A = this chain, B = another copy of it.
Amino acid sequence: MRISQLAERTGVPVHTLKYYLREGVLPAGRATSRTSAEYGEEHVDRVRLVRALVEHGGVPVAAVRRIVGALDAPPPSRHELLGTAHSTLAGEDPGAAAPAEVVELLRGLGWCTWEQGPFVAELGRAVEAARAAGAPLTPEALRRYAEAMFAVAEVDVELALGAPSPEEAMRAVVVGTVMVDPVLLALRRVAQEAASTARA
């Protein structure tokens, strides 16, 4: 199919598709001449993925480029799959070391995590910011939040392990992580109403 048909199929304007091609988040079609190229179903999927990440996931286009790059690269073994996915999603440097409270929390929970990794540092920043804003985030509350999110992560891991191929697993981790975040936050709000009602 030609670019105008790809635009029609996906509902994305031709101009935006050209922009995606320029930015490297959409692979070029198979050139049939110097002024035309052929696009396939994989391009439709890719466009849908990019739109979802940018629009609903709030991911910057530069990060989308890294993500789709990771999806296109030959996926490593399942062991390093999560590491590859995470380093793709983190992108930034850790910046500061994790505060003692966070490290202690993780150790107390018995989690085997990479304490120098970007997400532990990110967690430290987030906790600090919440406290600075005046949120009543006690260590006990944090521990219970962590246990709940461990249950979430177990589902994540099972979904990834259930994927038929390494490619699918990679997609499950990366897309699942980014796109399920808003689902979890919406569930949290709805659950707050339910929990509040249950208390009354």
Residues of A within 8 A of B (CB): 45, 48-49, 51-53, 55-58, 79, 82, 86, 89, 106, 109, 111-114, 117, 119-120, 122-123, 125-127, 129-130, 132-138, 141-142, 144-159, 161-163, 168, 171-172, 175-200
Give A124 to B197 CA distance when docked, in angstroms.
Answer: 21
Give A48 to B135 CA distance when docked, in angstroms.
Answer: 12
Chain B residue numbers with a CB within 8 Å of A156 are: 188, 192, 195
Give A181 to B185 CA distance when docked, in angstroms.
Answer: 7
- Pair B132/A196 contact, Cβ less than 8 Å: no
- Pair A114/B187 contact, Cβ less than 8 Å: no
Give A171 to B122 CA distance when docked, in angstroms.
Answer: 24
A-B contact pairs, 30 of them (CB 8 A): A49-B133, A49-B134, A53-B133, A56-B126, A58-B58, A82-B192, A89-B189, A111-B193, A112-B197, A114-B193, A122-B182, A130-B176, A130-B183, A135-B175, A137-B176, A137-B183, A138-B159, A141-B159, A145-B152, A145-B155, A149-B187, A151-B151, A152-B188, A153-B188, A153-B191, A154-B195, A156-B192, A161-B199, A177-B188, A184-B184
